Each structure stands twice: as structure tokens, then as C-alpha cells.
Amino acid sequence: QKEVEQDPGPLSVPEGAIVSLNCTYSNSAFQYFMWYRQYSRKGPELLMYTYSSGNKEDGRFTAQVDKSSKYISLFIRDSQPSDSATYLCAMVPGNTGKLIFGQGTTLQVKP
Amino acid sequence: GAVVSQHPSRVICKSGTSVKIECRSLDFQATTMFWYRQFPKQSLMLMATSNEGSKATYEQGVEKDKFLINHASLTLSTLTVTSAHPEDSSFYICSARGELGLAGGPDTQYFGPGTRLTVL
């Protein structure tokens, strides 16, 4: 079993839809959670980061962490075609500093 | 802020030659840099971690003599693929982690745009 599980998709939604992207993890040592967006043939771009359980909002993006269930989510409101990309969740176990990535979910927002 | 560049963005080389990829943090000092490899439709695989002025730490299964990493300064790390073969063709991405106080927290890594290596 992988430490971080993420459905690769692809996920296709119409423009304006609310998108929900999710990851589950098995290691309770994960303390720091991030979401990256990666466009084709580009490096990942940091979208959100959080330490604690709960919600964190930034514009159209909301990151949610539930440590008791070992489950994190990224919500995108009013999705746009420009949001079409691969979304990677990433986590840091303890003090290692290493990122453990999910497989990435490919999102397509259709105009 | 927190911009990381990579050079070259794309390189094609013949089998048996060596290729050097540079990774630079442009507006912050990177205490630690990471090198990843990514195959099509797959996630990033960490190859090695390098700290300025010390030897890189390689992940299990990564040949340190084949993938030479040098982290000569707080803004520059290089990855040299020695005696490249077609199976080394991949997308190589570096990331940098800076000092405390950068937006994103102490464990956040900022990624370069990647280098696509094709070995003929």
C-alpha cells in the first residue's frame, strides 16, 4: 500500500463547477500538507499548504485536512478552463523535510 | 518571490555522453535542494537531497556515480547524468527549500520548470 493514495482520474467537469480533489494517507507522522498544480511539461507550482486539521481558504481554493481520518481535500470553486492541470497532494513526515507525493489527479475543465 | 530556474529546459544527447543540468534559486538562498525524476503520467520520484557544501544523499536505487550532484552555493545545484543511455530519458525537476520565513512554511519546496532529457 502506498503511503499516499490519490485517484489519478482523469476528472472532467464543466466550467463553473465545484471540483473536489482528495488524498488519503496511512502514516500518522505526516504533519505538513501541500497541494501543487502541475501543467503539462512544467514544474509543480505550490497552491496551498497547511499544518493543522480544518479548512484554509485562498481565493477560489480551499484546502481541508482531517487528521483523524487521514484525509485531505482541495476544493476549487467556479472552475475555469485554465485550472486544467494535474493536481498533486504532498506531505511531509515528521522532520524529514522530504515530500511524499500522491500520484496526481488530472483535471480537465471544459468551457 | 521563491523563484527557481533550471537550465536547459530541453536537451537531446547521444548515448554515452554526459549532460549537466543547473538549478538556481533566483531570489532566495536555498539551504537544501532536491532532484526529482518524473515519467509520463506518473508522480515525482525523489532522486537525491543536497545541502550546500556537503555530499548529496541519494535515495535507494539511485546510482550516485551515474547522477552526480553538486551543491556549490546557496543558489546553485547541478545534476550531471554521466554516460547517459536511452533509459535515462526523462523529465528532471529540481526544487529548493529556503530559510524560515519564506511564504509557504519551512518545509515547502519550490520547483523549477523541469528539464526534458532525451538520449538517442
Look at residue B69 in the predicted model and tell me its pLDDT.
Answer: 94
Interface probe for A, chosen from B91, B107, B108 (most Cβ of A below 10 Å), is B107
The values of phi and psi at residue B11, to 5°, are -145, 135
Residue pLDDT, tens place only, B41-97: 888 999 999 988 888 999 999 999 999 999 888 899 999 999 999 999 999 999 998
For chain B, report the end-to-end CA distance as a whole number of angstroms: 37
Nearest residue to A16 (alpha-carbon basis) of A69, A82, A72, A91: A82
Q: Kindly state whether B44 is in contact with chain A, defined as any CB-CB distance less than 8 angstroms.
A: yes
> How far is the C-alpha of A107 from the C-alpha of B25, rounded, in Å?
29
What is the per-residue pLDDT for B106? 64
CB atoms within 10 A of CB B68: 16
Contact B43 A104 (CB under 8 A): yes
Q: How many CB atoms lie within 10 A of CB B62?
A: 17
Cα B60 to Cα B47: distance, rounded to the nearest angstrom: 8
Question: What is the nearest CA distance from A61 to chain B, expressed in angstroms?
Answer: 15
The C-alpha of A94 sits at a distance from chain B's nearest C-alpha, in angstroms, of: 10
Residue of chain A minimizing CA distance to B114: A43
Residues A58-106: pLDDT tens digits? 999 999 999 999 999 999 999 999 999 999 999 988 767 788 899 999 9
Give A95's contacts (C-beta < 8 A, 6+ positions apart). none
| Mean pLDDT of the region B14-37 | 93
Quote the CA–CA distance of A98 and B55 in Å, as a whole number. 17
Q: DSSP letter for A70, please.
A: T
**pLDDT tier, B13 (very low <50, low <70, confident <90, very high otherwise):** very high
**What is the nearest CA distance from B24 to chain A, expressed in angstroms?**
14
> Which whole-number Å values give the CA distances from A21 to A40, A108, B26, in the listed order?
18, 12, 32
In the stretch 71-90 of chain A, residues with CB closer than 8 A to chain B read: 88
Q: For residue B44, how many other CB atoms are within 10 A of its CB?
A: 24
CA A54 to centroid of chain Cα atoms: 15
Residue B102, pLDDT > 60, answer no
Residues 6+ away with beta carbon under 8 Å from A56: A48, A50, A62, A63, A64
Lowest mean pLDDT among A57-61, B66-70, B103-107, B114-118: B103-107
For B51, the closest chain A residue by CA position comes to: A97
Question: How close is the nearest chain B Cα to the Cα of A15, in Å?
Answer: 24
Check: CB of residue B25 under 8 Å from CB of residue B75: yes
Q: Among candidates A65, A68, A61, A71, which has minimal Cα distance to A107?
A: A61
CA distance B3 to B23: 11
Evaluate if residue B109 carries a pLDDT over 90: no
For position A104, what pLDDT does the model report? 94
User: Nearest to residue B36, comparing CAs of B118, B104, B114, B88?
Assistant: B114
Chain A, 50 to 69: residues with Cβ < 8 Å from chain B are 51
The better pLDDT of the pair B99, A53 is held by A53
